[in-house]
Amino acid sequence: MSTTPILEVTNLRVEYHGDNRQVVAVNDVSFSIGEGEIFGLAGESGCGKSTVANAIMRLLKDPAEVTHGQIRFKGRDLLALRGEELRRFRWKEIAMIFQSAMNSLNPVMTIGSQMVDIFTTHEGLSVKQARSRSAELLRLVSIDPVRLDSYPHQLSGGMRQRAVIAMALALEPSLLIMDEPTTALDVVVQQEIMAQISDLQRQLGFSVLFITHDMSLMVELSHRMAVMHSGRLVEMADAELMFASPLHPYTLSLMNAFPPLTGPRIRLTGLSDSVRAADGSSGSCSFHVSCPPDRANCSGNIPDLREVEPGRFVAEHPRPSIEGTAA
Amino acid sequence: MSVTNPSETVAQATPDAPAVVPASDRRPRRGLLRGILGNRKAAFGAAVLLLFGVVALAAPLLAPGNPSLITAIASQPPSLEHLLGTTAKGQDVLALTMHGARTSLLVGFVVGAAATLVGLLVGVASAYFGRVIDDLLSLVTNVFLLIPGLPLLVILAAFLPPGIGTVVVVLIITGWAGSARVLRSQALSIRSKDFVAAAVVTGEHPLRIMFREILPNMASIVMSTFLACVIFGIGAQAGLEFLGLGDASVVSWGTNLYWASNDGALFTGAWWAFAPSGLCIALVAFALAMVNYAVDEVTNPRLRTTKKGRTRA
Amino acid sequence: MTTNTGQRRPRTAPIDDVSVRVRGLTKDFPLGGLFSRRSMRAVDNVDFDIPRGTIVALVGESGSGKSTVARALARLERPTAGSIVVGGRDVLKTEKSAASRRYRGTVQMVFQDPFGSLNPAHRVEHFLERPLRIHGKARTRQEVRRQSAELMRTVGLTEDMLDSYPHELSGGQRQRVSIARALAVDPEIILADEPTSMLDVSVRIGILNLMARLRDERGISMLFITHDLASARYVADTTLVMFAGALVEGGESLELMQNPSHPYTRLLLSAVPDPARTVRYDPVQRARLRQAVLAPTACPWQGADCSATLPVRHTVGPDHWVRCHLYSPQVSSATNPLLTDSDPDLESNLDAAPVPTRKAAR
């Protein structure tokens, strides 16, 4: 894994325009992904992580809009791409697996014809060549190529998801974005999928942006991780390091929300399941999870990520030199 | 860890898009009416319908007397005295058209409402009870769908005593099956949702489930089915009357067309005798279709076009 | 549950310490058209009890039939065979065609999908008002409002949410409303069909804590259906493992997870993501293990072919049974390959992921 970043997101800001108000879904988010690196983006539903992925893929539609920031892929400005260029870049350079992708396979086409479609469209191959490439791809994800002629409903959920992964990797992209790839799959199948992805990544060397709310899943797979909350990044570090010693209280509470499989039964407190607002401008700050009960000294400023150690970033206000309240 | 006071936070619609519904504006159906009026297509459609409605209601005032009376010289083109000219018999076309609106609109809406109601009852019952009842009702629906409409209309109208009532009955009989099909599909898909199962587990009575749980979720499709049935009602009625199977003594757009054809208006080139009634039918149908589009758009946000232009994203 | 006089028995003096007794529950779904005789057996002869005031977890893969068990208990599906005994009476015989109101007031259900289980056309107060009125818990508007507010507080929500529509609440809040709805009838048993599967992992604990509280404070028994073993371990007293429509293992939760006996249980446990695991899994070996477990006609442990004879329950510990020939008394622990740690062939197969064994020290 080299350190040359292939994806650089800088100060990204995405807003949704409503009838009479603006909601900021992604607020000043910056991170980079290196070649061959698996980068995990964790957070609860609604924190903006899927929006980030859609922004990178240029899939944001009205009323969403990128209002600030840059996204550079291998040095090229992604936000400036248009028309034919954009079309060529999608799927060949960056591919995406959406939430419940296995349900978004075309139910009236066989798997084979959907895969052949990719090759004939993007690479201009003949149908015969495309079929043999597709068969190779299926073998890559441990599906018998005879399944090329099966319809999606004839495959199990796990197989469908693997087929979707195969399709995403068809054109050998440099970056694969996965948005909750294992929701709706049960635990055994989930593990297989994760193992498959890990395998493929080692074989083919692509980078991965892995988005999920399931921290334990992410830690097993990722090299580096970031935690997102209400549109902002609150912590970013090496995965194992973050798991071993999370610095931000929100990260800690996310990690503690998992009942253990071994050891005594202890009562855990999860995160509050109240609805979260994406904009902090309504007067009730949604970042108070990290604050002490006495918020008398609250400056009202939402902290930015600061590098506390090389490679470790935490969103916290600089602690005063005297022992005081860190707001 | 402290908890955000839920009443301060704003609703979230989907995992990705933060909701844009202000907290003050919470009813999801505040909108059906207001949404329709706010939509340009619908506003146009509604305006046209309103105009026709007013004219229909006010016809006795605007054109007093019996419009079928012969009051003028026959086959006169439009003039200041008779704004739309006169028929081959010598009746005022404008008066005939205005009075015609009363019958045509009334029959249209009655047929529309009744056909939708029958279709709704059959469709929802079919979907809710399933199995034997569903099979039975579907069979009946399919039979009525298969029978060719126009011939059935013709036969029924020929055998039943002439009159507006016959027309209404005949149209309802031929019109309900199509909506039943559609409404059954929709009801079926709602029936399979967990909230219906939850109502069953709570101990709700089947009738309550059908009308208080399933039906409210069908509001938009019932509305569009109704509008489509009204269009059918007006058009089919005109068709029947044009063929002479309606009650020729009643004044309606269809009978106007019938008489115009009977008296050879086409041959003599007296376009003013049939054009107004024909145009009215077309306009009303068009207006109803516009309102229908709006209902679709209001209830299915994905069909809406936003006011902002395309953006960078 | 009633006494002979038909009065509602006070909770403090139960005559039976089991809320639900299920025996031989079987459900076949017909495949193909109207005249086809093929069918799929979703639930195969399932027996279990739900003791009063406990939570029983039913875990298994998707498609293992666990939801069908819950729906059968909720009388949403008609079982092909079997008995469901509640209050000393087999309700499948006493209430053959449809569940009685009394049954509905005793057994309630919470569904998996927080988005689909609340009617989007109604406000939250509707969902609580209906059960209160139907079961005669409240008669006037004030009573309804008062009791609804109380229910909301019990599940950790606020009274003002009664005026909200479901789409204005988060997933976790919606599930709480569903739980409040189930509580409104004052049930003895709540069937929870994967109540947390569609919620964010971080929100699940809140719901699980609520379930535990309802059991502890109100003595409500629960059937908790899930595919997440960690949640089952956290909140359930007993865990039952279901595979292909049949129960294969069961017992006290902690004991079962500590000493998983059936190969399928071991597979399940090893599949739960656990970042604290020190050894990374090997996909090839895992595939082999999965193949071995899920294709029982080729059981790799000799002499234990399930396709020939159906295994029966064997006891492997206090309150812990398993249905696997390998645990029958004839197979001594010395030769039981699942218990022997030193078998070289199986080591590679089974210990691909470190399943907690009796020797492992943590």
Predicted confidence pLDDT, tens digits, chain C (362 residues):
443 444 444 444 455 688 899 999 999 887 766 666 778 888 989 999 999 999 999 998 777 788 899 999 999 989 999 999 998 888 888 888 888 899 999 999 999 988 889 999 899 999 999 999 999 998 999 999 999 999 999 999 999 999 999 988 888 899 999 999 999 999 999 999 999 988 887 788 889 999 999 999 999 999 999 988 888 999 999 999 998 888 989 999 998 988 888 878 888 887 777 666 544 555 565 666 666 666 655 555 555 566 666 777 778 778 888 887 667 676 655 555 555 433 333 333 333 333 332 222 22
Who wins on pLDDT, C270 or B197? B197
Would the CB atoms of A275 and B10 count as touching at under 8 Å?
yes
**Which residues, other chains included, contact B292 with Cβ-Cβ below 8 Å and sequence gap of 6+?**
B224, B227, B228
Share of chain A above pLDDT 90, in %: 12
Distance from CA of A73 to the nearest CA of B (A): 16
Cβ-based contacts under 8 A for chains A and C: 130
Who wins on pLDDT, C15 or B152? B152
Q: What does the DSSP 8-state code read for residue A152? A: G
- How much is the pLDDT for C313? 79
Contact residues, chain A, for B306 at CB < 8 Å: 62-63
**Which residues, other chains included, contact B147 with Cβ-Cβ below 8 Å and sequence gap of 6+?**
B174
Would the CB atoms of A275 and C254 count as touching at under 8 Å?
no
The domain defined by A1-87+224-258+276-318 carries CATH number 3.40.50.970: no
Cβ-based contacts under 8 A for chains B and C: 83
C 65-94 near B (Cβ less than 8 A): 74-76
- How much is the pLDDT for A208? 93
B136 touches chain C (CB under 8 A): no
The single residue listed with the structure tokens 């929300």 is A257
- How much is the pLDDT for A326? 41
Option in C173, C202, C230 nearest A261 (CB): C230
Contact residues, chain B, for A60 at CB < 8 Å: 313
pLDDT tens, position by position, B287-305: 998 888 887 777 665 555 5
> What number is the average pLDDT over the span B8-14?
32
The model's confidence at residue A64, banded by pLDDT at 50, 70 and 90, is confident
- How much is the pLDDT for A20? 75
Closest CA to C287 of C274, C302, C270: C270
Please state whether beta strands A175-179 and A64-73 pair in parallel, antiparallel, or not at all (unpaired). unpaired
Closest CA to A112 of A158, A144, A157: A144
pTM: 0.78
Distance from CA of C240 to the nearest CA of B (A): 24
- How much is the pLDDT for A273? 53
Cβ-based contacts under 8 A for chains A and B: 91
Three-state SS annotation for chain C: CECCCCCECCCCCCCCCEEEEEEEEEEEEECCCCCCCCEEEEEEEEEEEEECCCEEEEECCCCCCHHHHHHHHCCCCCCCEEEEEECCEEHHHHCCCCCCHHHHCCEEEECCCCCCCCCCCCCHHHHHHHHHHHCCCCCCHHHHHHHHHHHHHHCCCCHHHHHCCHHHCCHHHHHHHHHHHHHCCCCCEEEEECCCCCCCHHHHHHHHHHHHHHHHHHCCEEEEEECCHHHHHHHCCEEEEEECCEEEEEEEHHHHHHCCCCHHHHHHHHHCCCCCCCCCCCHHHHHHHHHHHHCHHHCCCCCCCCCCCCCCEEEEECCEEEECHHHCCCCCCCCCCCCCCCCHHHHHHHCCCCCCCCCCCC
Instruction: Let me know if C76 is exposed, middle or buried by CB neighbors in 10 A (0-12, 13-18, 19+).
Output: middle
- How much is the pLDDT for C10? 46
Residue A309 gets the label, from left (phi > 0), alpha (psi -120 to 50) or beta, of: beta
Nearest-CA residue of chain B relative to C182?
B202
Q: Among A103, A191, A196, A256, which would you mutate to test the C interface (most chain C Cβ atoms within 10 Å of its Cβ)?
A: A191
Contact B116, B225 (CB under 8 A): yes
Would the CB atoms of B3 and A274 count as touching at under 8 Å?
yes
Q: Where are the domains of chain C?
A: 20-96+189-196+221-258, 262-350
Nearest-CA residue of chain A relative to B5?
A274
Contact A316, A232 (CB under 8 A): no
Contact residues, chain C, for A272 at CB < 8 Å: 206
The model's confidence at residue B202, banded by pLDDT at 50, 70 and 90, is very high
Would the CB atoms of B198 and C157 count as touching at under 8 Å?
no
Q: Report d(CA B286, CA B282) in Å as an integer.
A: 6
Q: Which residues pair with A42 in a beta bridge?
A: A212, A227
Q: Which CATH number among 3.30.420.40, 3.40.50.300, 3.30.830.10, 1.10.3720.10 corresponds to the domain B32-57+91-299?
A: 1.10.3720.10
> What number is the average pLDDT over the span B254-278?
86
> Which contacts qualify for B72-77: CB closer than 8 Å, 24 or more apart?
B75/B268, B75/B270, B75/B273, B77/B270, B77/B272
Distance from CA of B203 to the nearest CA of C (A): 6
Q: Among A16, A20, A62, which would you mutate to test the B interface (most chain B Cβ atoms within 10 Å of its Cβ)?
A: A62
Q: Among B195, B196, B218, which would you mutate to test the C interface (most chain C Cβ atoms within 10 Å of its Cβ)?
A: B195
Task: Render the burial of A238-275: b for 16+ CB within 10 Å, e for the rest.
Answer: ebeebbeebbbbbbbbbbbbbbebeeeeeebebbbbbb
Would the CB atoms of B11 and C109 count as touching at under 8 Å?
no
Distance from CA of C202 to the nearest CA of B (A): 14
Q: Which residues pair with C18 in a beta bridge?
A: C51
Who wins on pLDDT, A276 or A38? A38
Contact A314, A305 (CB under 8 A): yes
Would the CB atoms of B202 and C130 count as touching at under 8 Å?
yes
The single residue listed with the structure tokens 């692509």 is A206
The CATH superfamily label for domain C20-96+189-196+221-258 reads P-loop containing nucleotide triphosphate hydrolases (3.40.50.300)
Q: What is the mean pLDDT of chain B?
A: 80
Option in A16, A54, A269 nearest B18 (CB): A16
Option in C108, C157, C164 nearest B26 (CB): C164
The model's confidence at residue A199, banded by pLDDT at 50, 70 and 90, is confident
Question: Can you spell out the DSSP letters for A264-276?
Answer: ----------SPP
Distance from CA of C116 to the nearest CA of B (A): 5
Who wins on pLDDT, C71 or A258? C71
A14 touches chain B (CB under 8 A): yes
Q: What is the mean pLDDT of chain A?
A: 80
ipTM above 0.95, yes or no: no
Would the CB atoms of A259 and C257 count as touching at under 8 Å?
no
Q: Where are the domains of chain B?
A: 32-57+91-299
Three-state SS annotation for chain B: CCCCCHHHCCCCCCCCCCCCCCCCCCCCCHHHHHHHHHCHHHHHHHHHHHHHHHHHHHHHHHCCCCCCCCCCCCCCCCCCCCCCCECCCCCEHHHHHHHHHHHHHHHHHHHHHHHHHHHHHHHHHHHHHCHHHHHHHHHHHHHHHHCCHHHHHHHHHHHCCCCHHHHHHHHHHHHHHHHHHHHHHHHHHHHCCHHHHHHHHHCCCHHHHHHHHHHHHHHHHHHHHHHHHHHHHHHHHHHHHHCCCCCCCCCCHHHHHHHHHHCCHHHHCCHHHHHHHHHHHHHHHHHHHHHHHHHHHHHCHHHCCCCCCCCCC
A 84-113 near C (Cβ less than 8 A): none
- How much is the pLDDT for C338? 53
- How much is the pLDDT for A98? 83
Contact residues, chain B, for A64 at CB < 8 Å: 17, 313
Identify the chains in contact with A, defined as 3+ C-beta pairs within 8 A.
B, C
**Which residues, other chains included, contact C340 with Cβ-Cβ below 8 Å and sequence gap of 6+?**
C333, C334, C346
A286 touches chain B (CB under 8 A): yes
Q: Report d(CA B62, CA B92) in Å as an integer.
A: 13
> What number is the average pLDDT over the span B40-68?
86
Identify the chains in contact with C, defined as 3+ C-beta pairs within 8 A.
A, B
Would the CB atoms of C170 and A275 count as touching at under 8 Å?
yes
Would the CB atoms of B195 and C119 count as touching at under 8 Å?
yes
Distance from CA of B227 to the nearest CA of C (A): 22
Option in B26, B202, B213 nearest C168 (CB): B26
Report whether pLDDT(A325) > 60.
Answer: no
> What number is the average pLDDT over the span B216-226?
89
B 284-313 near A (Cβ less than 8 A): 306, 308, 310-313
Distance from CA of A227 to the nearest CA of C (A): 13
Would the CB atoms of A284 and B4 count as touching at under 8 Å?
yes
B 173-202 near C (Cβ less than 8 A): 193-195, 197-202
Report whether pLDDT(B3) > 60.
Answer: no
Ordered strands of the C246-252 beta sheet: C107-110, C189-193, C221-226, C55-59, C238-243, C246-252, C320-323, C313-317
> What number is the average pLDDT over the span A306-321?
67
Closest CA to A63 of B31, B296, B29, B16: B16
Report whether pLDDT(A241) > 60.
Answer: yes
